[in-house]
Amino acid sequence: MRIYVDIDGTLTDDPENKWGNIIISRVKKVKEFIDEGHEVVIWSGNGTDYANEFCKFLDIKPYVAVGKPDIYIDDRVDIRSPGKLNFESPEYLNGE
């Protein structure tokens, strides 16, 4: 499974400040996903360098760490029709 995980406000408690307080239990769950063989993509609206710095600091070894896209372009709109993209809230990482 490919799993995309945001940093600020998801793996940290503050979406507005750099990293805020890191939520260790969620980081641990992300590492478990990676250990289970899932392709985990860590992403952030703050960019690719920021995402990589975060991963390095916490020893997270994702499939890739990138900035969030501003736009995506795909020839197959039927792959993910509107409302069909699987979404989970940050609490999903808490097992909630």
Output the pTM of the full model. Answer: 0.79
Helices (H), the chain: 24-35, 48-58
What separation, in Å, do the N-terminal and C-terminal C-alpha atoms of the chain show?
Answer: 19
Of 15-29, 45-59, 61-75, where does the model show the most confidence? 45-59
pLDDT tens-digit readout, 18-46: 778 999 999 999 999 999 999 999 999 89
Cα–Cα distance for residue pair 60/30, rounded to 1 Å: 8
The class of domain 2-94 in CATH terms is alpha beta
In this structure, the number of other CB atoms found within 10 A of the CB of residue 11 comes to: 26
The ranges assigned to domains in the chain are 2-94
Residue 90: which pLDDT band, with cuts at 50, 70 and 90?
confident
Burial group, residue 36, by CB count within 10 angstroms (0-12, 13-18, 19+):
exposed
